[in-house]
Amino acid sequence: MIMAEPSFFSVFFDQRHLLEDEFAAEIDAKQRQYLDTFVEVVEDAMDAGAIPAGDPRDVAQPVLGMTSLPYKWCREGRDDPTR
């Protein structure tokens, strides 16, 4: 999805300050929901013993960054998104 619509992720992560307050607030709420979902998944993985125990939010943040930021560096023709 990120490679299919990189401009969406650019607005979501980088250009909220350019949006009207109403739309920025909507994006902020979605970003919080997105992070909360990642935190829940990390908590479940910790509870199952799949990953070491720790602060789920501290673990979720870098995972979120690794999975959400390819729009900044991945380029069609240079990078293979299926790899």
Do residues 38 and 63 lie in contact, with contact meaning Cβ atoms separated by under 8 Å? yes
The band of 11, judged by pLDDT with boundaries at 50, 70 and 90, is low
Condensed to tens digits (0 to 9), the pLDDT of residues 44-78 reads 999 999 999 999 999 999 988 887 777 777 777 78
What is the DSSP-derived secondary structure letter of residue 63? H
DSSP string spanning 14-45? H-GGGS-HHHHHHHHHHHHHHHHHHHHHHHHH
Q: Which of 4-8, 20-24, 39-43 has the lowest mean pLDDT?
A: 4-8
Both structure tokens of 72: 């900044």
Q: Which residues contact 11 (CB under 8 A, 6 or more apart)?
A: 19, 27
What is the DSSP-derived secondary structure letter of residue 38? H
